[in-house]
Amino acid sequence: MKPAPFDYARPSSIAEACAILSEAGGGATVIAGGQTLMPLLNLRMSQPFILVDINGIADLKGVSRVDGGTRVGPATRQADALRDETLARHLPAFVAALGHVGHYQTRNRGTVGGSVALGEPAAEMPATAVALGATIEIASVSGTRSVKAEEFYLGPYMTALEPDELVTGITYPDWPDGHVVLFREVAQRPGDFALVGMVGALALDGGKVSRAGIAWFGMGPTPIRARQAEDALLGKALTEIDADAVAALAVADTAPFDDHHASAEYRRTVGKRIFARTLRETLDIRSAA
């Protein structure tokens, strides 16, 4: 099939893009990488009146250090982000998760912001934003606002982003040097959306967990913060942590569902096992070091 007819605009500034989105009255769709959008257009599952190509806006690209964190432009290619030294140093959990997004070919075109803004509940980038406490910057003709990643996702492919708004940046707060990265996912094939996945980070101070941020993907209608597990880890020495008990608390916060890929019970069982294994292996390595 071929896409339904649409107009095309390539703004050169954020202000121009916001003006086009506002004038479209909800009939516009933003394209950056297009790895999800192009198939939807071809299948006519998405039929915008106008396609707004943001690839010409320099302010939406690149990685930079900001006060207390690292900011990623939404139009930054995933492949470029994987090679970025700033991200490797300050956000190793982000890099670990990003390496499992799609395939080598799709990462050359796909963007960080596209994945974050799409809101796919089984994708790595939305869950990473939630786990690490990211803030999503949004602009429109009415001004700018910031939304915490945890409050950005409302349901499958549903976010707090209004039709006339544009994501202009994602800022991830700093984590202490030497923090522990947690990541594991189970998928049918490499590059597929996860059946079950977890991502997060733990900061240690004096041998005890001083900060925890963990989120699930593929375990509910949105990325889900493992709050009970985080609370159980805080203040605990590595030798005091019962990985199985913490995993049970983590799964208790989820809301998995049955689909043609896996059952809710499968997701709960496998989720608990990978959480406990990942936590145990990561902390064992840290203790040995």
pLDDT digits (tens, 9 = 90+) for 12-31: 999 999 999 999 999 999 99
What pLDDT, in 10s, does the model give residues 153-212?
A: 999 999 999 999 999 999 999 999 989 999 999 999 988 899 999 999 999 998 899 999
pLDDT at 289 exceeding the cut of 70:
no
| Distances in whole angstroms, Cα of residue 218 to Cα of each of 54, 129, 177, 178 | 29, 15, 29, 28
Indicate the pTM of the whole model: 0.95
Domain annotation covers residue 166: yes
Question: At CA 37, angle to CA 35 and CA 43, rounded to 5?
Answer: 115
Do 146 and 87 share a structural domain? Answer: yes
What's the mean per-residue pLDDT of the chain? 95
Do 132 and 196 share a structural domain? Answer: no
Do 193 and 130 share a structural domain? Answer: no
Please tell me the predicted confidence (pLDDT) of residue 182: 97
284 — pLDDT class (breaks 50, 70, 90) = confident
pLDDT at 1 exceeding the cut of 80:
no
Do 18 and 65 share a structural domain? Answer: no
Q: Specify the residue for token string 């597990």.
A: 229
Among the ranges given (40-54, 61-75, 173-187), the one the predictor scored with the smallest mean pLDDT: 40-54
Do 200 and 149 share a structural domain? Answer: no
**Domain of residue 136, CATH code:** 3.30.465.10
286 — pLDDT class (breaks 50, 70, 90) = confident
Integer Rg of the chain from CA:
19
Domain that holds residue 223: 180-288
| Distances in whole angstroms, Cα of residue 61 to Cα of each of 55, 56, 116, 153 | 9, 9, 14, 23
Do 141 and 69 share a structural domain? Answer: yes
Domain annotation covers residue 196: yes
Do 218 and 264 share a structural domain? Answer: yes
Q: Which of the listed residues 157, 173, 189 is the one where a domain comes to its end?
A: 173
Please tell me the predicted confidence (pLDDT) of residue 41: 80
Please tell me the predicted confidence (pLDDT) of residue 39: 86
Do 66 and 46 share a structural domain? Answer: no
Q: Which of the listed residues 154, 173, 192 is the one where a domain comes to its end?
A: 173
State the Cα–Cα distance between residues 211 and 31, nearest whole angstrom.
Answer: 36
Domain annotation covers residue 1: no
Is the Cβ–Cβ distance between 100 and 201 less than 8 Å? no
Do 142 and 188 share a structural domain? Answer: no
Domain annotation covers residue 164: yes
Token pair for residue 83?
């090679």
Please tell me the predicted confidence (pLDDT) of residue 109: 94
Q: Which of the listed residues 132, 151, 173 is the one where a domain comes to its end?
A: 173
Do 189 and 131 share a structural domain? Answer: no
**Domain of residue 192, CATH code:** 3.30.390.50
Domain annotation covers residue 2: no
State the Cα–Cα distance between residues 33 and 286, nearest whole angstrom.
Answer: 38
Token pair for residue 216?
């699930």
**Domain of residue 37, CATH code:** 3.30.43.10
Please tell me the predicted confidence (pLDDT) of residue 37: 87
Q: How many domains does the chain contain in total?
A: 3
